[in-house]
Amino acid sequence: MSAIRTSKLKKTFDEVVAVDDLTITVTEGEIFGLVGPDGAGKTTTMRLLTAIMEPTSGDAWVAGFHVVKEAEAIKERIGYMSQKFGLYPDLSVMENINFYADIYGVPRKGRSKRIDELLAFSNLTPFKQRLAGNLSGGMKQKLGLACALIHTPKVLFLDEPTNGVDPVSRRDFWRILYQLLREKVTIFVSTAYLDEAERCNRLGLIYKGQILALGTPDEVKQIMPGAILEIRVADSRKAYQLLKKELREESVGLFGERIHIVTRDPQKVESEAAKILQDAGIDASAPRPIEPSLEDVFVSVLAEQERSEQAR
């Protein structure tokens, strides 16, 4: 059964199309990731699905309710953690959670048990009397999540929840999300971190309001146009600039000490790249084909899309 379903959902702001004919289905009890660069339409999509904003056209249903006709019913059944979740820095952890419990109309009877569960769940029990303003970035995100879960929602919306959070806190946050799946909570998360997208059951790659790819991480990797060659080199930035200049027909990406070249003719480009670097006196490993990561797919698909737009 679907927890979220959209049909040709569209949102425009004057001449700008923020979400363009979005049609997706999210199954109950899965983590669905919406992945895209800044300005791709992730936050607008989230606001449409949480009934904060009305679409220009199209339809969407969340937890079985229409986002326009039954907006209030949706708000009772979802949790929403925006990029700037409204924690109150002058209130303690406990006071923030109780504040949101009051907003959601959580009964006083049984509330303490639910709060204790959430504090233990998010490892915040030792900090329940600490002011929210004195928490670290990762702990603030966990508190925001606890506040969004106080009324036991069926669907949880998280808009780039780990943006700016350290790697350890990001890992802890995702551990908590996996625990939520065991409680049959459906999670809709937007992220710009491609390693996080790998953790989702399914994902959608969004660009300029349109879904360019949809499926499991492995399925999305299959849409990769061409093959990938990897070169390891110490002076990677110099090598990257040179290869990008000389291999104009190919997509060249820089990943630390690694350079990835996306090409439809790997044998030809393999020898060309090796010769270009050798002639420039740059010491590098021999180009070798590798399996694409989501980051490779992401970079390649967006580059292909931009080339198509420029050719029009």
Q: Closest by alpha carbon to 80, among 103, 112, 56, 57?
A: 103
pTM for the full predicted model? 0.85
pLDDT score at 169? 83
CB of 233 closer than 8 Å to CB of 257: yes
pLDDT digits (tens, 9 = 90+) for 46-80: 999 999 999 999 999 999 999 999 999 998 899 99
pLDDT score at 247? 92
- Ranges of H-type helices in the chain: 42-49, 71-77, 93-103, 111-121, 137-149, 167-181, 194-197, 217-221, 236-246, 266-279, 294-311
More confident residue, 306 or 119: 119
Q: Reply yes or no on whether the pLDDT at 134 is more than 90.
A: yes
pLDDT digits (tens, 9 = 90+) for 253-266: 888 899 999 888 99
Res. 278 pLDDT band, cuts 50 70 90: very high
pLDDT digits (tens, 9 = 90+) for 72-112: 999 889 999 988 778 899 999 999 999 999 998 899 888 99
Determine the Cα–Cα distance for residues 93 and 119; give it in Å rounded to an integer. 9
Q: What average pLDDT does range 234-244 have in this prediction?
A: 92
CB of 101 closer than 8 Å to CB of 116: no
Relative to beta strand 2-13, strand 78-81 is unpaired
Q: Reply yes or no on whether the pLDDT at 194 is more than 90.
A: no
For the chain, give the percent of residues with pLDDT over 70: 99
pLDDT digits (tens, 9 = 90+) for 135-189: 988 899 899 999 999 998 999 999 998 887 888 888 888 988 898 888 889 999 9
Tokens 């990835």, residue located? 260
Q: What average pLDDT does range 284-311 have in this prediction?
A: 81
Res. 127 pLDDT band, cuts 50 70 90: very high
Mean pLDDT for the chain? 90
CB of 42 closer than 8 Å to CB of 189: no
Q: Reply yes or no on whether the pLDDT at 311 is more than 70.
A: no
Domains and CATH numbers, the chain: 2-221 (3.40.50.300), 227-291 (3.30.70.270)
Res. 222 pLDDT band, cuts 50 70 90: confident
Q: Reply yes or no on whether the pLDDT at 308 is more than 90.
A: no
116's CB contacts (< 8 A; 6+ apart) are 125
Determine the Cα–Cα distance for residues 187 and 196; give it in Å rounded to an integer. 13
Q: Reply yes or no on whether the pLDDT at 41 is more than 80.
A: yes
Res. 312 pLDDT band, cuts 50 70 90: low
